[in-house]
């Protein structure tokens, strides 16, 4: 019985250290084989022509042609190629754009090597792969942005109501019978969850969205 052919993988990333790390990762798996690499998005199609990869690990952010544009270019010439987008952070728009461009996967660069290897195998078999963060981003895109303040705790809503009344941290602490430090912590949490720059903005948002009585 003949052994199955290894999956041919190409690495596209403008950082040599990242490319070296991915190459080292591939060496740990007998069924994955590096066939090409480039640090220039503009060279991806030419590199594909030479190496004919099954799967490409594509950096999202690169100078010149970024990963999304490079994905479109590759799939226009080699539609059978599977592309996994690799990035350091997840933004809703980038996930949407990458998948619309034809990427079969979207993962963070800090994913464990076994996770990345399994992702290569999955997309090669026709199964899309998304990191949990990318899945959450898609849900946000589908359902729309959450109304500010929906994640406030009951105590934080009490504090927010007192912020609306114009009370200081010391006055909030006295009213709720808590320490000033605790009151300050709750106020900071309210501002952060509301995305408010200051108490006045938090009070305005609380009133606008009817977050307090």
Q: How far apart are CA 104 and CA 108, in angstroms?
A: 14
Q: How far apart are CA 175 and CA 173, in angstroms?
A: 6
Q: Is the residue at 148 inside a domain?
A: no
Same domain, 24 and 55: yes
Q: Is the residue at 134 inside a domain?
A: yes
- Which residue segment(s) compose the domain that 166 sits in? 154-208
What's the token pair of residue 107?
Answer: 């993962």
Note the pLDDT of residue 7: 97
Residues 121 and 115 sit within 8 Å (Cβ to Cβ): no
What's the token pair of residue 103?
Answer: 């990427």
Q: Which helix (H) or strand (E) holds 171?
A: helix 169-176
CATH number at residue 52: 3.40.50.2300
Note the pLDDT of residue 6: 95
CATH number at residue 190: 1.10.10.10
Note the pLDDT of residue 25: 93
Note the pLDDT of residue 51: 94
Q: Which residues contact 154 (CB under 8 A, 6 or more apart)?
A: none
Same domain, 83 and 112: yes
Same domain, 63 and 128: yes
Q: Is the residue at 129 inside a domain?
A: yes
- Give one DSSP letter per residue of 112-170, joined into a string: -HHHHHHHHHHHHTT--EE-HHHHHHHHHHHH-PPPTTTT--HHHHHHHHHHHTT--HH
Note the pLDDT of residue 145: 56
pLDDT tens, per residue, the chain with 213 residues: 566 899 999 999 999 999 999 999 999 999 999 999 999 989 999 999 999 999 999 999 998 899 999 999 999 999 999 999 999 878 888 898 999 999 999 999 989 999 999 999 999 999 999 999 898 888 877 766 567 777 788 899 999 999 999 999 999 999 999 999 999 999 999 998 888 889 999 999 999 888 887
């Amino acid at each position: 019985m003949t052994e199955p052919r290894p999956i041919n993988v190409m690495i596209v990333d403008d950082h040599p250290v990242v490319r070296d790390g991915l190459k080292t990762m591939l060496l740990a798996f007998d069924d994955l084989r590096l066939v090409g690499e480039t640090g220039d998005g503009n060279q991806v199609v030419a590199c594909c022509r030479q190496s004919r990869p099954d799967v490409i690990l594509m950096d999202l952010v690169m100078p010149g042609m970024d990963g999304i544009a490079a994905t479109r270019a590759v799939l226009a010439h080699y539609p059978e190629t599977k592309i996994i987008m690799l990035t350091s952070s997840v933004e809703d728009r980038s996930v949407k754009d990458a998948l619309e461009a034809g990427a079969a996967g979207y993962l963070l660069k800090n994913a464990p090597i076994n996770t990345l290897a399994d992702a290569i195998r999955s997309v090669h078999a026709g199964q899309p792969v998304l990191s949990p963060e990318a899945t959450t981003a898609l849900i946000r895109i589908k359902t729309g942005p959450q109304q500010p303040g929906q994640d406030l705790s009951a105590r934080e809503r009490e504090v927010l109501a007192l912020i609306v009344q114009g009370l200081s941290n010391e006055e909030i602490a006295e009213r709720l019978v808590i320490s000033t430090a605790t009151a300050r912590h709750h106020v900071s949490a309210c501002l952060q969850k509301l995305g408010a720059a200051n108490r006045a903005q938090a009070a305005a948002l609380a009133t606008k969205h009817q977050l307090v009585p």
